[in-house]
Amino acid sequence: MLTGQISAPGQILLSNIDIPEPGPKDILIKVRRAGICGTDIHILHGSYPAQYPLIPGHEFSGTIEMVGTSVTRFQPGDRVTADPNIACNRCENCQKNQINQCLDWQGIGITRAGGFADYVIAPEGNVYPIGSISFEEGAFIEPLACVIWGIQTIRPTIGDRTLIFGAGPMGCLIMQSLKAAGATEVTIVDRLPSRLKKAASLGADHTLLTEEAPSVLKNLAPHGFDIVTDATGSPSVVESCFQYVRARGKVWLFGVCTPDAKASFSPYEVFRKDLSIFGSYAVNRTFNESIELLRSGTVKVRPLLSHTLPLEDFAAAMRVAEHDPKRMKVQLYWD
Ligand SMILES: [Zn+2]
Ligand SMILES: [Zn+2]
């Protein structure tokens, strides 16, 4: 089978390898769509703890090709996606029901072979049926599940006025999810007018270019926003979140900064304004909610897809996902 690999930081290649055999509790999935995530770009540059050589790809959908001998819930031909987070189910964190913090965590497309390949293996417990959801939408279930884990963590309430930095695919998923969770107003800031247009078409109430944000935001919410979200992973943007959060407000760090990045904030201000700072890492059994948001049409993902390329163009697809100013979500596709 054909695979797209990152053999070492900075090195992309296509390689033909044997189709893997599913173990007794595993499922072999024929990949139909696989999304490229910011994490894959970090992995390419060696700024994310991955295991090389790696077949990346942790956002994918497809059909079941073969099931292991003790698999009971699925059969060949089923349309599925998979949660890439494989928890050990026996460490202290798993026992405390914190499986996304598993101490012996494995990630499909991070520490073991992922979906940038003709076939990928996932344990049965990680596989979810997608029903009539299209494959292109099905490859958004994982990123949306990450957003939902964050939403469950920060608990927005009805009437919240919210601000998001970053109108990329994740910022637009966060925007729609905040609204579904009760926020009445979402303002979104980005450097690119095309991304702001997309966000507006999906329901953002106010869209602002980065350079106009400081003055306009102070007029929009003189005392600040209830929830301020960073969806850029830029330390300077993280620092600026604190300027715009109201008393008793929440700062949600969703964007992935590099492991060595530092950002400063005023502890006095956090104390004086009763602020809360939240992180949310990956997915925590939030695939069912994600599937439901897509199935019901509550969250729309088709408009977020900007480029589709075949696996043969893996290197070009990674370049588009990192550099193309018109990019939103980039997916690999199989006919
Ligand atoms: Zn991702
Ligand atoms: Zn564990």
The reported pLDDT for the residue numbered 80 is 98
Which ligand number lies closest to the CA of residue 93? 2
Q: What is the crossing angle of helices 141-154 and 169-180, to 10°?
A: 50
- Nearest CA among 133, 27, 7 for reference residue 82: 27
The Cα 299–Cα 291 span in angstroms is: 10
Q: pLDDT band at 286, cuts 50/70/90?
A: very high
Cis peptide before 267 (omega within 30 of 0): no
The reported pLDDT for the residue numbered 160 is 98
Asked if 265 and 245 count as a contact pair (C-beta separation under 8 A), the reply is: no
Which ligand number lies closest to the CA of residue 147? 1
Which tens digit of pLDDT belongs to each residue from 306-318? Answer: 999 999 999 999 9
Which ligand number lies closest to the CA of residue 60? 1
CATH number of 147-279: 3.40.50.720
Q: What is the mean pLDDT of the chain?
A: 97
Q: How far is the CA of 90 from the centre of ligand 2 (A)?
A: 5
Q: How far is the CA of 179 from the centre of ligand 1 (A)?
A: 22
In total, the chain counts a number of residues equal to: 335
The reported pLDDT for the residue numbered 304 is 98
Is the domain defined by 2-140+301-333 classed in CATH 3.40.190.10?
A: no
Encoded amino acid at 71, one letter: V
Give the DSSP H/E element, type plus range, for residue 278: strand 276-279
- Nearest CA among 107, 53, 115, 44 for reference residue 81: 115
Asked if 69 and 127 count as a contact pair (C-beta separation under 8 A), the reply is: no
Q: What is the DSSP letter of 82?
A: E
Query: What is the pLDDT averaged over residues 2-21?
Result: 98
Q: How far is the CA of 86 from the centre of ligand 2 (A)?
A: 9
Whether residue 335 is predicted with pLDDT greater than 90 in this model: the reply is: no
Q: How far is the CA of 269 from the centre of ligand 1 (A)?
A: 32
Q: pLDDT band at 95, cuts 50/70/90?
A: very high
Q: How far is the CA of 183 from the centre of ligand 1 (A)?
A: 24
- Cα torsion 324, 231, 101, 277 to 10°: value is 160
Greater model confidence, 258 or 198:
198
The reported pLDDT for the residue numbered 325 is 92
Q: How far is the CA of 89 from the centre of ligand 2 (A)?
A: 5
**Angle, alpha carbons 302-75-5 (nearest 5°):** 55
- Nearest CA among 134, 278, 161 for reference residue 226: 161
The Cα 32–Cα 60 span in angstroms is: 7
Q: How far is the CA of 38 from the centre of ligand 1 (A)?
A: 6
Which ligand number lies closest to the CA of residue 145? 1
The Cα 68–Cα 74 span in angstroms is: 10
- Cα torsion 108, 310, 198, 213 to 10°: value is 60
Q: How far is the CA of 298 from the centre of ligand 2 (A)?
A: 33
Which ligand number lies closest to the CA of residue 254? 1
Q: Where are the domains of the chain?
A: 2-140+301-333, 147-279
Three-state SS for 210-264 is HHHHHHHHHHHCCCCEEEEEECCCCHHHHHHHCCCEEEEEEEEECCCCCCCCCCC
Query: What is the pLDDT averaged over residues 107-127?
Result: 98
Q: How far is the CA of 109 from the centre of ligand 1 (A)?
A: 10
Whether residue 3 is predicted with pLDDT greater than 90 in this model: the reply is: yes
Which ligand number lies closest to the CA of residue 283? 1
Q: How far is the CA of 223 from the centre of ligand 1 (A)?
A: 34
Which ligand number lies closest to the CA of residue 58? 1
Q: How far is the CA of 39 from the centre of ligand 1 (A)?
A: 5
Which ligand number lies closest to the CA of residue 103? 2
Place of tokens 């007029």: 219
Q: How far is the CA of 89 from the centre of ligand 1 (A)?
A: 22
What lies within 8 Å, CB to CB, of 178 at 6+ separation is: 151, 156, 160, 162, 164, 186, 227, 229
Which ligand number lies closest to the CA of residue 140? 1
Whether residue 162 is predicted with pLDDT greater than 90 in this model: the reply is: yes
Which ligand number lies closest to the CA of residue 87? 2
Which ligand number lies closest to the CA of residue 42? 1
Three-class DSSP category at 164: strand
The Cα 280–Cα 115 span in angstroms is: 23
Which ligand number lies closest to the CA of residue 97? 2
Q: What is the DSSP letter of 52?
A: S
Which tens digit of pLDDT belongs to each residue from 57-69? Answer: 999 999 999 999 9
Which tens digit of pLDDT belongs to each residue from 217-250? Answer: 999 999 999 999 999 999 999 999 999 999 999 9
